[in-house]
């Protein structure tokens, strides 16, 4: 399980008698069925049919854009979607759809609607235009208010953007708009934050985090604000964290300049030369391989992704627990070669050794299952479920795995 889950108003990862047993089981099933009966009812069918229904009934479509590994997505399914008040409002006002953005038609929909974080919630009209959106785990009251805003043309994201373009300078308005757009429309959010920090005289911790989240490269106008307000920021974060953020911005800029998206090629010499201003040559070369591996995976060049990742983690002694878990999970999801998968098992084992969690225990369980080691798969699935309960995480996927073993 990938533990890089995103949660807004962020980050980013989810057992006396036979007669009595039957009563308990039936009661549980009844309660579960009742919960879903009074919660949000999601439509079956493809997106085109849902769009046609919305147009015919003159309703907006509510889309829960999720990913199977996303922890906050699972918590919404467990805690919010089944609630009666939520179901009453959403079912009466919208056509509801639940779409995995990493499978089937969800892949193209994610591109079309610029879904980059999970869960993302979209409101789409009958013409297919997204008119309102937000993301992350949202409590009941706010989740209903969010839907009410979608039904009010003056409060929709499209309307808020128009207000901004007309020159709105209210700080609370600008902050809210930046939070709504920062993970799906970075260019626009950059303009909003630029104005926000012009009209906001002081900076608190939330402001600093918002500023840091909005900076993509050192070429951003927000980077100058980051530099100008260093004195204020280091009062909120330790000085070494400020320098770490600054280094990350510098490296992001170098990466952007080193990669040509049109030709899908890298300028290795430029990257290594510039990166050595901040890290050693050895680390610069390793980082470049990681970036190339990540890009190869994005481009669906699995063979290159596999080759580069194996090279990167030939020595993984210095890699952190989360990094190793992510590498192992990516291999579980994309690699079929047993020898390579056994390498991923070793990474996941070291991840657990460095910091045990439900996520890396789940990764181990899935990897063991994939290479045919059912005994260890069962042991680690049980361990992951135990840790999930202790951490307050959703373990439904791991429970499904355990039942299949």
DSSP code for 182: T
pTM, full prediction:
0.77
Intervals of CATH 3.40.30.10 along the chain? 18-155
List the CATH code of the domain at 18-155: 3.40.30.10
Intervals of CATH 1.25.40 along the chain? 313-405
Q: Residue 397 has which token pair?
A: 């996927």
CA atoms of 134 and 120, how far apart (whole Å): 6
- What proportion of the chain, given as a percentage, has pLDDT over 90? 80
In tens, the pLDDT along 231-244 reads: 999 999 888 999 99
**Do β-strands 60-66 and 120-124 pair in parallel, antiparallel, or remain unpaired?**
antiparallel
Number of residues in the chain: 405
| Level-2 CATH architecture, domain 313-405 | Alpha Horseshoe (1.25)
Under the banding of pLDDT at 50, 70 and 90, the label for residue 26 is: very low
CA atoms of 349 and 356, how far apart (whole Å): 9
Q: Does the pLDDT at position 20 exceed 60?
A: no
Q: Does the pLDDT at position 104 exceed 80?
A: yes
Please compute the mean of the pLDDT values over residues 269-295 and round it to a whole number: 96
**Known catalytic residues?**
70, 73
How far is the CA of 149 from the CAs of 34, 77, 87, 171, in angstroms?
28, 21, 16, 19
Helical axes 338-354 vs 321-334, angle rounded to 10°: 150
Please compute the mean of the pLDDT values over residues 7-17 and round it to a whole number: 34
CB 268 within 8 A of CB 288: yes
In tens, the pLDDT along 221-268 reads: 999 999 999 999 999 988 899 999 999 999 999 999 999 999 999 999
Helical axes 338-354 vs 302-312, angle rounded to 10°: 50
Q: Does the pLDDT at position 34 exceed 70?
A: no
229 three-state secondary structure: coil
CB 383 within 8 A of CB 374: no
In tens, the pLDDT along 109-140 reads: 999 999 988 999 999 999 999 999 998 999 99
pLDDT score recorded for residue 201: 85
């Amino acid at each position: 399980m990938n533990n890089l889950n995103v949660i807004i108003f962020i980050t980013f990862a989810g057992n006396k008698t036979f007669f009595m047993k039957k009563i308990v089981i039936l009661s549980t099933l009844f309660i579960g069925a009742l919960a879903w009966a009074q919660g949000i009812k999601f439509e079956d069918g493809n997106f085109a049919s849902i769009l046609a229904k919305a147009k015919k009934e003159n309703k907006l479509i509510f889309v829960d854009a999720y990913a199977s590994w996303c922890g906050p997505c699972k918590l919404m399914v467990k805690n919010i979607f089944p609630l009666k008040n939520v179901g009453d409002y959403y079912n009466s006002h919208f056509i509801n759809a639940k779409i995995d953005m990493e499978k089937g038609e969800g892949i193209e929909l994610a591109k079309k609607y610029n879904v980059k974080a999970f869960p993302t919630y979209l409101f789409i009209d009958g013409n297919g235009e997204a008119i309102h959106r937000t993301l992350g785990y949202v409590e009941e009251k706010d989740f209903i208010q969010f839907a009410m805003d979608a039904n009010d043309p003056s409060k929709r994201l499209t309307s808020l953007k128009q207000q901004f373009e007309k020159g709105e300078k209210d700080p609370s308005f600008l902050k809210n708009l930046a939070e709504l757009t920062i993970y799906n429309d970075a260019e626009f959010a950059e303009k909003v934050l630029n104005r926000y920090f012009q009209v906001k005289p002081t900076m608190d911790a939330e402001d600093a985090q918002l500023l840091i989240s909005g900076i993509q490269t050192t070429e951003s106008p927000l980077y100058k604000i980051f530099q100008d307000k260093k004195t204020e920021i280091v009062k909120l974060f330790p000085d070494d964290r400020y320098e770490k953020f600054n280094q990350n911005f510098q490296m992001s800029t170098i990466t952007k300049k080193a990669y040509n998206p049109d030709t899908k090629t890298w300028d290795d010499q430029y990257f290594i030369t510039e990166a050595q201003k901040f890290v050693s040559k050895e680390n610069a070369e390793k980082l470049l391989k990681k970036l190339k591996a990540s890009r190869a995976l994005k481009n669906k060049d699995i063979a290159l992704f596999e080759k580069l990742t194996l090279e990167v983690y030939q020595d993984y002694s210095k890699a952190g627990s989360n990094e190793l878990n992510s590498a192992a999970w990516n291999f579980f999801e994309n690699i079929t070669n047993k020898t390579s998968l056994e390498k991923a098992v070793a990474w996941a084992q070291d991840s657990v050794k460095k910091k045990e969690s439900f996520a890396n225990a789940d990764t181990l369980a899935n990897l063991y299952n994939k290479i045919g080691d059912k005994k260890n798969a069962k042991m680690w699935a049980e361990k992951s479920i135990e840790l999930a309960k202790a951490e307050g995480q959703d373990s439904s996927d791991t429970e499904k795995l355990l039942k299949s073993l």
